[in-house]
Amino acid sequence: MIGQFFGEAFSVLAGNKMRTFLTILGLIIGVAAVIAIQILGKGMSGAVSGVLGSLNDRSFILFPSQQQGDFTKAALKFKDLERVKALFPNIVSAIPAMATATAATFCRDSFC
């Protein structure tokens, strides 16, 4: 009885070869996409943990003043870093870092 079901299933699969191929291809692409997203997520988690894990109770982060008129142009310069190191002689090391945000657009023709 079970053999009859499998026989019928394989005959339907053989009868619709293109549909069977596309279904298998969709399954392979879907599984690969899920695995890739999980790998990327774990990699990003490890990178963030590595950066934040290096901070301890003796670490601190400096940001430019948010009271400035245009916060997007506010920045700490290398001379500011040297001034902080001069004011606080117990600083062992200071590492500059920068982050920025921007918007990207895509147009298919030249008239966007």
Alpha-carbon distance of 77 to 83, in angstroms, equals 10
Output the CA torsion sign for 69, 74, 77, 81: positive
- Residue 72 pLDDT > 70: no
- Calculate what percentage of the chain has a pLDDT beyond 70: 70
Question: Where along the chain do its domains lie?
Answer: 1-56, 60-94
In the numeric block, the tokens 């700490």 are attached to: 76
Say what the pLDDT of residue 3 is: 85
Average pLDDT over every residue of 71-90: 76
For 23, 61, 84, 88, the CA distances from 56, given in Å and listed in that order, are 51, 11, 19, 18
Q: What is the pLDDT of residues 18-66, one digit of tens each?
A: 999 999 999 999 999 999 999 988 888 877 776 666 676 777 777 666 6
- Can you give the pTM of this predicted structure? 0.43
Alpha-carbon distance of 64 to 75, in angstroms, equals 6
Average pLDDT over every residue of 87-109: 72
21 or 72: which carries more pLDDT confidence? Answer: 21
98 or 2: which carries more pLDDT confidence? Answer: 2
Mean pLDDT for the chain? Answer: 79
